[in-house]
Every structure is written in C-alpha cells, then in structure tokens.
C-alpha cells in the first residue's frame, strides 16, 4: 500500500530575462502547454531586469 505524503507547495514567479522575442514566446508557450499557473514576468535585458527587481515588481530569493 502506497502512502501519499502531503507536499508543501509555494507559489513562485518565473522571471525570464531574454532579449530574443521568439525565444521568449516559445518559452512562454511551453510553460502554458505544461499548464503551469505561475506568474511569468519578462525583462528584455539585464538593465530592465535590475529595474524590475529594484522597483519591487519581482521579489528576489
């Protein structure tokens, strides 16, 4: 008999930093296909990523 253990899940935002629109769209489509419910935030470059982090739009671990 298999005993199922209660797993603790935590909500996580996926932060994509990618300057290529086609790659970013492909990644977002793949995530949707997996039916992930995570929020996805995209920055187009390192500068935008830092601005989002500093503005508190994305929380760092």
In a domain, 7, yes or no: no
30 lies in some domain: yes
Is residue 6 in some structural domain? no
Q: How much is the pLDDT for 11?
A: 81
Of 39, 34, 32, 33, which Cα lies nearest the Cα of 12? 39
DSSP 61: -
Give the pLDDT score at 61: 58
Q: Structural domain tally of the chain?
A: 1
H helix intervals, the chain = 21-33, 46-54
Boundaries of domain holding 24? 12-39
Q: What are the distances in angstroms from CA 25 to CA 16, 38, 42, 51, 56? A: 11, 16, 10, 22, 24
- Answer yes or no: is 45 within a domain: no
Check if the beta carbon of residue 42 is closer than 8 Å to that of residue 14.
Answer: no
For residue 35, being part of any structural domain is answered with: yes
In a domain, 19, yes or no: yes
Inside any domain, residue 17? yes
60 — pLDDT class (breaks 50, 70, 90): low
Residues 23-49: pLDDT tens digits?
999 999 999 999 988 899 999 999 999
In this predicted model, what pLDDT tens digit does every residue of 1-29 receive, in sequence order? 566 666 777 788 999 999 999 999 999 99
């Amino acid at each position: 008999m298999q005993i199922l253990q209660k797993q603790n899940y935590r909500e996580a935002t996926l932060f994509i930093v990618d300057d290529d629109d086609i790659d970013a769209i492909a990644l977002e489509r793949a995530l949707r296909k997996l039916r992930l419910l995570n929020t996805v935030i995209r920055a187009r470059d390192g500068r935008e990523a830092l601005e989002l982090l500093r503005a508190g739009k994305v929380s760092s671990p």
